[in-house]
A and B are shown apart, each in its own frame.
Chain A
Amino acid sequence: MEIVDGGELKGYASLHPKTAESLKADIGSIVLFEDPESGFWGAAEIRKSPDVPQNKMVVDSLVLEASLLMEGDRVDVTLYERPMTALDYVEFGLKPLTEDANTEDLVTRAAESVSSLEKLIGGRLVYPGMSFNWPDLGVKVEILNTRPALTGRSFAKLAFEALRAKTGYQFKTVGISTPFNAILCIDTSGSMKTGDVPVKDVAHAREGLKDLAGDNPDVQAFLDRFEEGTNVTRAEAAAMAVLLYLAEKVGRGYGEKVAVITFERDVSEMTFMDPDTGDVRPYVECTGKNKAIGLQVISTHVIDKVEEGGTLTNMGDALMKAGEILDAFGDPRKPTMLIMLTDGMTTTGPPPLKVLKERFSGHRKLVMYCIGLGERNEIDEELMLAMAEYGNGTYRHVDNMRDLLEWYGRLASEFAVVIRGRE
């Protein structure tokens, strides 16, 4: 059957009644359509229309966009009869379509207007990459993530009532990634020397970092430790993640200022001397002519700290130090990302959540992400979740190199303020 782009059809696909009959489909049935050559596929709820030729299928533009299919593609069409997945959580991405919609408080306005979204897309078919236009707000709404994840050819229908009863939903802006400053806090306590992180699928990251490291033998030797199929220590994994983050920021130009804090019982920050002015700063500049030097300095610092290791875990003082560095950035209007990575629980120093609330309450453009590395039962996940929630970010547990690097790589390029919706 040949695909026709139908424009805005509210997510539906139209078939000739005879075609629908041959598929044993009726209004409201869901059909799967797939290009057998490319394997690209999509799905839509159907409507019947005698105006549609029997050899064609008229599909909503945004459904086609999600599936990478386009007008003129030839597809096999089948009836989908498996049960829908019930969703606990949906992450909505908001992309402004009008200049009026492109405001800093967009996510807040979206959360306040959720009833209008519910009327618009409640009951609609959902799969990852799917999107809808939300005219009241002048935005396109994209389905970014769901829980449970919709993998393979599984679909769900959006039921806001059910979502509110479960984990809920959240909004964030997408489409324009803002340059932002970052502070990375890395746990270097003794337990981080546990060698239980499997190395898998790191070839691209390792080769890219090797290339960037140039002739620096320390960095090259460090990267050689990451051999596929072996295990590395949590500290080594964390150090490589930091290098990757920096490489993205410096090498890929997601730029601005990056600071690195390591903590165990004591807290220390990386310092960098500007070769032009001689000024010493607690962060590296990721743009301009000295950025490559910054990458070299910060790499060496992180690797040295990993080798040292420490005893206790002092997350609270690490956050105090992060507050000082935030001030040193000197631009309170610039968005800042704070990433806290640990494998354990805070064992000394002030309570981290209290520090966070006291020290960062005035920073509206701060987003905090927490990462738990290693064994789950060794990590204070409740604290991590609470800090991430307070900081408008997320908490994620990882136990292998691939996921850790993927997450750091993504964070390096993406800054989003999140507003959650839940009753």
Chain B
Amino acid sequence: MLVVRSVEDQPAHGLKKGDLLRFYIVDAHHHMGREGSHQNTPAGAYSYYSLLWFELRRMAKERLEKDELLYEPVDIEPPHTASKCFNIRNSWAEMNRGWLVDRTIVFPFSDDYAKSDNKLVASFKLSNDRIARWTTRSPHSTRLIGFARVDPTDARTIGADCAVRELHRAVTLLGLRGLKLHPLAQLFLDDIEDDITRRVVKKAGELHVPIVFDTRNIRTVRRIKNLIDGMRSDKSCANSITGTRIVLAHSAMTPGDTFLHDTLMDPVFCTETSGLHGQDLPVLMKAAQERDTPPGNQWSSRILFGTDYSYFSLHAADTILHLLSRDFIGGPSDIQRILGENALLLAQKVFVTRGPSRRRPRQVAFRDDRNQGLDGFENLLFSLVRDEHWDVSSLDLIIPSQRVLTSSNVSLMTKTIGVDTDSYVLTLRSRSEGEEVHVWVRRRSDRLLTFAVTSGYNTRGIGGSELGLPESESLLLKALDEHTIYADSSDALSQEVLETLGTQ
């Protein structure tokens, strides 16, 4: 998390000079794998974020001297649960760094190994397998969100449904949570409106996974918009459109274009900042705000922060500093939306694959008078990971329903805006049987914590957007509340947790 200090009083936002804010940052565009001279792995990503922080500090110093910044970046802090997972083993602890960025959406390059020697195998199969291994196992699963990549032109060279089947496999078997499409790299720019692309986009909509669509110019955006409009008027695609979300990567490199911003008014679309820098950023923000009808803060809900590492690197520091500058047209809530919240709302979903799961839901409540309950619980849980009984497949923070920063919720300002690091859902996968369980940790008040365990089977029914909804809307969690067991000591809590997980 990025910790910043307000350099002056900001009464409109309830901030005083010197107040600290914590921004949870999600990188919505990041590559891993190997393509020519580009190679990146989880460890490489964390090293990059460390470097980015060093550069950010250096650049911030220059801009502070010119009085250009409204917030001074002063520190970075790891979210405690993820950091604790990295400290389970010494070899993992070496990667417990680079916490300028807390979560990363990761997808393959056009990898050297994207095409198989076996002409019947879908493009990117091996790449998707590798992304899944990196993103759904400890400790990286607490930091990385994996997206698949497919090549729609496989429909012509391998089989009509080849890319569609690969996407289905990647989401339902591997647990990947989104899709990256690159019309230029896979040479289907002229086929964006063709049935080969439509089938892939339709499948992504049916699976409720977002698509990051590479766009280098506005012509590509026009084609994608035509594709979506065509699908809307096609009855066979009507259901899939409700689940379709498309991120127009790089803001089509034309951040001020009227058509881009008209397209962003369509709820299917949002955009991201990778590759933009310098004057591109104020142009993007201003055009988005001007297009907002009715005027409000919806404009900042359509922009995601992304780095596109390792194609780009320093641009991301420029983006963050623009958001912290006097030139930025929004407030702290807009900053948090762009830096993290929008991406979490788009990509967070409860990790569920088609693995076996038969466990009965159970919830334990604990009065946390000494504020040590969560720490003890996590120590216990991660000891099970260290002893190789369970592996962590995902860690997703629950987004509070009240997340707009105003002077009326000023107390939030010493905490993180937009996310609550004490409330999350963790997916554990049994190493012996492959069973998946979800552990819901929720801080209900300063004194009360609840821990619920549900199986993947139970959770599948509540869909993928649970993490972004107010808690009251979850039927499952509501039912759990009605059948809660109370633990009167931390030992009793440990006992209940171990029993529930069947590792007693």
CB of A50 within 8 A of chain B?
no
CB of B259 within 8 A of chain A?
no
Interface positions, chain B 23-51, Cβ under 8 Å from A, are: 33-34, 36-37, 39, 41, 43-44, 47-48, 50-51
Asked if A212 contacts B185 (CB within 8 A), the reply is no
Interface positions, chain B 112-137, Cβ under 8 Å from A, are: 113, 126, 129-130, 133-134, 137
Among B47, B58, B126, the one with the most A-chain Cβ atoms within 10 Å of its Cβ is B47
CB of A289 within 8 A of chain B?
yes
Among A40, A253, A256, A406, the one with the most B-chain Cβ atoms within 10 Å of its Cβ is A253
Asked if A208 contacts B184 (CB within 8 A), the reply is yes
Chain A residues with CB under 8 Å of B39's CB are 68, 129
In angstroms, Cα B58 to Cα A71, docked, is 36
The interface-forming segment of A163-171, A174-182, A311-319 is: A174-182
Asked if A140 contacts B47 (CB within 8 A), the reply is yes
In angstroms, Cα B254 to Cα A99, docked, is 34
Asked if B184 contacts A61 (CB within 8 A), the reply is no
Chain A, interface residues (CB within 8 Å), range: 35 or more
In angstroms, Cα B220 to Cα A161, docked, is 54
Give the contacting residue for A99; candidates B37, B57, B129, B250; CB below 8 A. B57
Chain A residues with CB under 8 Å of B50's CB are 96-97
Q: How far is the CB of A378 from chain B (nearest CB, A)?
A: 29
The interface-forming segment of B164-172, B270-278, B297-305, B406-414 is: B270-278
Closest to A214 in B: B219
Asked if A99 contacts B54 (CB within 8 A), the reply is yes
Asked if A211 contacts B41 (CB within 8 A), the reply is no
Chain B residues with CB under 8 Å of A53's CB are none
Asked if A102 contacts B253 (CB within 8 A), the reply is no
Asked if B279 contacts A102 (CB within 8 A), the reply is no
Closest to A252 in B: B275
Chain B residues with CB under 8 Å of A212's CB are 216-217
Chain B residues with CB under 8 Å of A211's CB are 184, 189, 216-217, 219-220
Known A176-B313, A253-B253; contact A61-B51, beta-carbon cutoff 8 A: no
Interface positions, chain A 121-143, Cβ under 8 Å from B, are: 129, 140
Asked if B51 contacts A289 (CB within 8 A), the reply is no
Closest to A208 in B: B184
Mask: chain A, 352-367; 1 = CB below 8 Å from B; 0 = not: 0000000000000000
CB of A120 within 8 A of chain B?
no
Known A7-B91, A102-B51; contact A253-B277, beta-carbon cutoff 8 A: yes
CB of B311 within 8 A of chain A?
yes
Chain B residues with CB under 8 Å of A98's CB are 54
Asked if B253 contacts A251 (CB within 8 A), the reply is yes
CB of A332 within 8 A of chain B?
no
Q: Give B contacts to A, CB under 8 Å.
A: 33-34, 36-37, 39, 41, 43-44, 47-48, 50-55, 57-58, 90-92, 94, 113, 126, 129-130, 133-134, 137, 184-185, 187, 189, 216-217, 219-220, 250, 253-256, 275-280, 283, 311-315, 318
Q: Give A contacts to B, CB under 8 Å.
A: 5-8, 37-40, 61, 65, 68, 70-73, 95-99, 102, 129, 140, 175-179, 203-204, 207-208, 211-212, 214, 250-256, 285, 287-289, 292, 406, 410, 413
Extra contacts besides A68-B41, A254-B312 (13): CB < 8 Å: A39-B113, A65-B43, A98-B54, A99-B54, A102-B51, A176-B52, A176-B313, A204-B187, A207-B187, A252-B253, A287-B276, A289-B256, A289-B279
Interface CB pairs A-B, < 8 A, 24: A6-B91, A37-B126, A37-B129, A61-B43, A61-B91, A61-B94, A68-B33, A71-B91, A72-B133, A98-B54, A99-B57, A102-B58, A140-B47, A179-B278, A252-B275, A253-B275, A253-B276, A253-B312, A254-B312, A287-B280, A288-B278, A288-B283, A289-B256, A410-B37
